[in-house]
Structure 1
Amino acid sequence: MARPKEFDPHAALRVAMETFRRRGYEGTSVQDLVDALGINRSSMYAAFGSKHDLYLKALERYSADEKAKAQEELTGAGPALPALRAFLLSYVDAALTDPERHGCLVTHGVMERVPADPEATTRLRTALGGMEDAYTFLLLRARANGELAPGADVGSLARFLVTFTQGLRVMEKAADRTYLTEAVDQALTVVRASGGARDGGTDTG
């Protein structure tokens, strides 16, 4: 007799994360989650708590994934600004290969849950802070490489990039590749100009 398939909470959390990303918090019912997870309500509550508890866990998992992506793509050696361009365009590529353009759970959460939901707000601000840290690290490398001038304010530029990224992830739902690529290239132009880029630090290839 075949043994029943064991419940995998890590896989289930990713399913819940995608459900919230597609539907939003308010648009996701407990029944939607139960159906997506393939378990009954009592099992869901036992594993994750309430819908809100599960949403907070999903935010944490998604934020950890995004942080890992940023660290992998932004903290390597070599020219920094081309790596930044490639990183931003990776979001464009991901959005345009998603027929329904579900977008970013963090971006949706900022628009839907802040500031009314203090617990979600804390987690979302932490996620945005992690992105700011990754951008700061990359911009410090750009400054050390001579892609930005020695006096470049990397903190302000990192906050600009966080703000730009959130706007990009909203516009991914409506704009085409040309529009989004032009926006990315203009953001890189702003970074270079604000940072006082030297000759030779302008390649975004």
Structure 2
Amino acid sequence: MGRPKQFDPDVAVEQAMDVFWRKGYVRTTPQDLVDALGIGKGSLYNTFGNKHALFEQALRRYRDSQTVALIEMLEEPGPVKARLRKTLGFLAETDLADPDRRGCMAVNTAAELAGRDEAATELVQRMFALTEDAFRALIEEGQRSGEIAPERDPAALGSLLLNTVAGLRIMARVAESPDRLVRVIDATVDFL
């Protein structure tokens, strides 16, 4: 009897994240995962339990890489509005450069599963809350530095920026050029 193929579960979660990100949860089959991970179905189920459990791990991995990276960009030194413009521009450029036009896995999951999948909905809500809190903190910093008017509601602006990011990520999936995205970014930053 042959020895089972060895694989790194951490790498497998990363590979599964890419499959779920490209195809979504519903359209991803166990065979898609087996093919992408290069393991047998037995190893897939023995290691991760089921497709949904692996999806949750992949969504957490997305949060830990993408959401954290966004927050880190917002926390870099420099003027608040310049950091915001740079961060929004980076998201737009990254999405437009992606040949698969995957957009944002959290936004995609919200559109696909919100209200129908409690665990996925909860994970996405937490990702959105982290991002919104980072935007609120950025607005508060801008108010302290004088870049943003002190009478503006930081929580409301944080929500607006989260909504702007979600919209940008969706628009980038179908954009033929960056023009519209650049207009949205410019208008958003100028609005503050």
* AA in 2 matched with 1:181: V
1:158 aligns with 2:158: yes
* AA in 2 matched with 1:174: V
Deviation at 1:70, TM superposition (A): 2.0
Q: Find the aligned partners of 2:146 and 2:60 in 1 and give their Cα distance.
A: 36
Question: Within 5 A, what are the aligned runs for 1:154-193?
Answer: 154-175=154-175, 176-190=177-191, 192=192
Which 5+ residue runs of structure 2 have no aligned equivalent? Answer: none
Q: Find the aligned partners of 1:59 and 1:123 in 2 and give their Cα distance.
A: 7
TM-score, reference length from structure 2: 0.94
SS at match of 2:164: helix
Structure-2 change in CA distance of 1:43 and 1:110 (3 Å): same
Structure that is richer in helix per residue = 2
Q: Find the aligned partners of 1:59 and 1:170 in 2 and give their Cα distance.
A: 18
Q: Find the aligned partners of 1:79 and 1:6 in 2 and give their Cα distance.
A: 49
SS at match of 2:25: coil
* AA in 2 matched with 1:95: D
Q: Contact 2:139/2:158 (CA < 8 Å) preserved in 1?
A: yes
The root-mean-square deviation of aligned C-alpha atoms, in Å, is: 1.5
1:90 aligns with 2:90: yes
Q: Find the aligned partners of 1:174 and 1:22 in 2 and give their Cα distance.
A: 14
Q: Contact 1:172/1:180 (CA < 8 Å) preserved in 2?
A: yes
Deviation at 1:97, TM superposition (A): 1.2
Once the two structures are superposed, what CA deviation does each residue of 1:120-168 show, in whole Å capped at 9, x if it has no partner? 1111100100101111111111111100122221100000011111011
Report how many aligned residue pairs link the two structures. Answer: 189
* AA in 2 matched with 1:189: D
* AA in 2 matched with 1:30: P
Identity among equivalent pairs (%): 37
TM-score, reference length from structure 1: 0.88
Q: Contact 1:75/1:137 (CA < 8 Å) preserved in 2?
A: no
